[in-house]
Amino acid sequence: MAKVNLDLTHDASEIVHYDTARIPLYIKTGNLSNYPDKRALCHWHEDIEFIRVLKGKMNYSINGKKILLNENDCLMVNAKQMHYGYSQNQQNCIFICILIHPRLLATNQLLKQKYFVPVLDNSRLEYLHFGPQDILHDEMMSLLDRIMQLKEQAVPGYELGVMGSMMLMWNRLLGIPQMASSKPEVLPDSDLAIQKDMVSFIYQNYAEKLALADIAAAGNVSRSKCCIIFKQYLQQSPIDFLNHYRLEVSCSLLKTTALTITEIATACGFNHLSYYSKFFSKSYGCTPNEFRKQHLTE
């Protein structure tokens, strides 16, 4: 069976499916319970990402740095950072997720070079975390809620209102010293680059029969070093990450195709249907067939 095409660029960064074609803007309410083991997949993209926790709490990892996001916390993740969210003690979390590509805001070249490029190219600025004790917290929370409200109301031209709120937010964020640090640039983290290479290899070859040695070879490291890097940045073994990614792809196929369960298992790299079904049930609390039926009725 042919391999399923993935929405990835040449470097395996995520291709974001924006709300409207050719308008690089994505606004959704997320729910950790929709992910296997309440854990989103590691990804990166050129969009700036904003998270606002509505209910519960979750852990968030950015380039291996771990943050606990509590209810009402807000987060900005700079472009091209490797990140993902996962459950805190298997608790659920409901959150707003907003992605916006810099080109939507920086249409004027002078403004782009003056106010956006220094931030996007600031290697020290991986993220900004806003809790109740931070001076901009209430304003950030209000603006993100406003953006979500505009999306939900979806009146003609709501995108312009979103852009206005985003421009106001950017203006306020520029007053934070971390947004344009004048300190010397930080040397690239070689292990982080290796991690991206190995994750990219998995994204591009998940349907094949992969062993730990194959994943390690993609990063040009030993198997033990491979495991250490995955543990450091993703808190998973390489094979666990591979299987969770396969599971994520299978969910998409269950919802969008008429392939049989066996065909889906094979297309995603699971050689044994029984293992796939058992792993799926453990992660989602239902069988693949039950999952498909649930989504057919939505």
In this predicted structure, the answer to whether residue 3 has a pLDDT above a threshold of 50 is no
How high is the pLDDT of residue 6?
A: 43
- 97 vs 177, higher pLDDT: 97
In this structure, the number of other CB atoms found within 10 A of the CB of residue 106 comes to 18
How high is the pLDDT of residue 34?
A: 87
Tell me the pLDDT tens digit for each residue of 168-223: 999 999 999 888 665 555 556 789 999 999 999 999 899 999 999 999 999 999 99
How high is the pLDDT of residue 182?
A: 55
In this predicted structure, the answer to whether residue 7 has a pLDDT above a threshold of 60 is no
**Residue 67 contacts by C-beta under 8 Å, 6 or more apart in sequence?**
59, 60, 61, 75, 127, 129
Q: How many helices (H) and strands (E) does the chain have?
A: 12, 8
The residue behind tokens 């900004």 is 128
Q: Report DSSP state, residue 34.
A: G
In this predicted structure, the answer to whether residue 231 has a pLDDT above a threshold of 90 is yes
Average pLDDT over residues 32-52: 91
Average pLDDT over residues 24-43: 91
How high is the pLDDT of residue 183?
A: 57
How high is the pLDDT of residue 19?
A: 87
pLDDT tier at 64, thresholds 50, 70, 90: very high
The pair of three-digit structure tokens given for residue 82, joined into one six-digit string: 């490797």
Residue 64 near residue 233 (C-beta atoms within 8 A): yes
How high is the pLDDT of residue 50?
A: 98
**Residue 248 contacts by C-beta under 8 Å, 6 or more apart in sequence?**
35, 36, 41
Residue 285 near residue 90 (C-beta atoms within 8 A): no
How high is the pLDDT of residue 298?
A: 55
- Percent of the chain at pLDDT > 70 equals 91
How high is the pLDDT of residue 296?
A: 76
Average pLDDT over residues 45-59: 96
